[in-house]
């Protein structure tokens, strides 16, 4: 039997384009009504010196993320991971994802409750 917190998502937000495809894929896979879903993409605008701005997109799973268990039990990728054209998201054992994380800055590791 799988241990709790054994699997998670690693999100490399440096290359996220803010396309929201992960949100749409999650909503379609799980039939979420408008405004609900397992992942949200936030837009963060930081003001820099000399009148410049820095834009970051941060995709982050919500409390509703169930890690696509019906798909992953069949050996398939979660819907958001499969449809992210920028390849920003990985699903896998938390220990492996944590090792990956040490190789790349600007990543987020998500482990559901």
**Whose structure tokens read 């803010």?**
18
User: Could you say whether residue 17 binds ligand SF4 (CB under 6 A)?
Assistant: yes
Task: For ligand SF4, give the closer residue by CB, 31 or 50.
Answer: 31
Which of positions 47-86 make contact with ligand SF4 (CB under 6 A)? 57, 59, 61, 65-68, 78-80, 84, 86
Q: How far is the CB of 30 from ligand SF4 (least distance, A)?
A: 6
For the chain, how long is the longest CA-to-CA vector?
A: 56
Q: What is the DSSP letter of 105?
A: S
Count of residues for the chain? 113
Q: Both tokens of residue 79?
A: 């819907």
Site residue total, ligand SF4 (CB under 6 A)? 27
């Amino acid at each position: 039997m799988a241990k709790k917190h054994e699997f998670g998502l690693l999100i490399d937000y440096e290359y996220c384009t803010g396309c929201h495809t992960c949100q749409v894929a999650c909503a379609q896979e799980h039939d979420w009504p408008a405004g609900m879903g397992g992942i949200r993409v936030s837009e963060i605008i930081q003001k820099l010196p000399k009148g410049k701005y820095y834009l970051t997109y941060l995709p982050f799973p919500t409390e509703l993320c169930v890690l696509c268990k019906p798909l992953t039990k069949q050996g398939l990728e979660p819907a958001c991971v499969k449809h992210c054209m920028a390849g920003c998201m990985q699903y896998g054992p938390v220990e492996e994802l944590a090792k990956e994380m040490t190789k790349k800055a600007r990543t987020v590791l998500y482990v559901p409750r």
